[in-house]
């Protein structure tokens, strides 16, 4: 088992248009959480899905503050902030997310704002369908996540895949 780009795209597709930025923030955090809960593992240790819902998803949603009408680069930076908060919850309590873990090192997500802003602009310019837009966003977020963070279990750091 490992993280699945198609699962992420499907979770993003399932987001419904919202009336408020807060609803959008919660929906995006839930979609990323669904992606992580589906198959994330460190070595042979699977992620504890209840902790994703209880700690990481709310942290991500709370960290994002979208501003309607803001630039694509501003929105992309907000998404990075949310991703860092999601992983920050895992860093704060590693054993709650992976049994026996003593440390979690998150991905840097350094390239995410630029890549997401380009994806947002391309999707807008192309009048992308929901499916196309979700796939484009998954193309950015999946490689930024998969194999980029680690969980140390015992003395061994395992890539989170």
pLDDT tens digits for range 39-79: 888 888 999 999 999 999 999 999 999 998 899 999 999 99
Which residue, among 121, 34, 36, 31, has the nearest Cα to 75 in the 3D structure?
Answer: 121
- Structural domain that includes position 30: 5-159
pTM of the model: 0.94
**133-142 pLDDT, tens digit each:** 999 999 999 9
Query: What are 101's strand-pairing partners?
Result: 153
Q: Tokens 């979690």 correspond to what residue?
A: 104
How is residue 52 written in tokens? Answer: 């994703």
- Sheet-wide strand order for 156-159: 101-105, 150-153, 156-159
- What is the tally of structural domains in the chain? 1
């Amino acid at each position: 088992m490992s993280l699945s780009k198609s699962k992420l795209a499907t979770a993003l597709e399932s987001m419904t248009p919202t009336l408020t930025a807060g609803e959008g923030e919660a929906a995006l955090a839930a979609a990323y959480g669904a992606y992580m809960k589906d198959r994330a593992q460190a070595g042979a240790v699977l992620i504890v899905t209840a902790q994703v819902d209880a700690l990481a998803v709310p942290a991500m949603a709370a960290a994002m503050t979208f501003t309607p009408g803001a630039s694509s680069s501003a929105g992309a930076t907000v998404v990075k902030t949310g991703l860092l908060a999601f992983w920050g919850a895992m860093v704060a309590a590693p054993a709650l997310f992976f049994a026996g873990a003593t440390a979690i090192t998150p991905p840097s997500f350094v390239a995410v704002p630029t890549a997401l802003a380009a994806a947002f602009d391309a999707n807008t310019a192309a009048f992308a369908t929901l499916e196309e837009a979700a796939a484009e966003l998954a193309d950015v977020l999946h490689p930024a996540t998969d194999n980029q963070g680690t969980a140390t279990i015992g003395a061994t750091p395992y890539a989170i895949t």
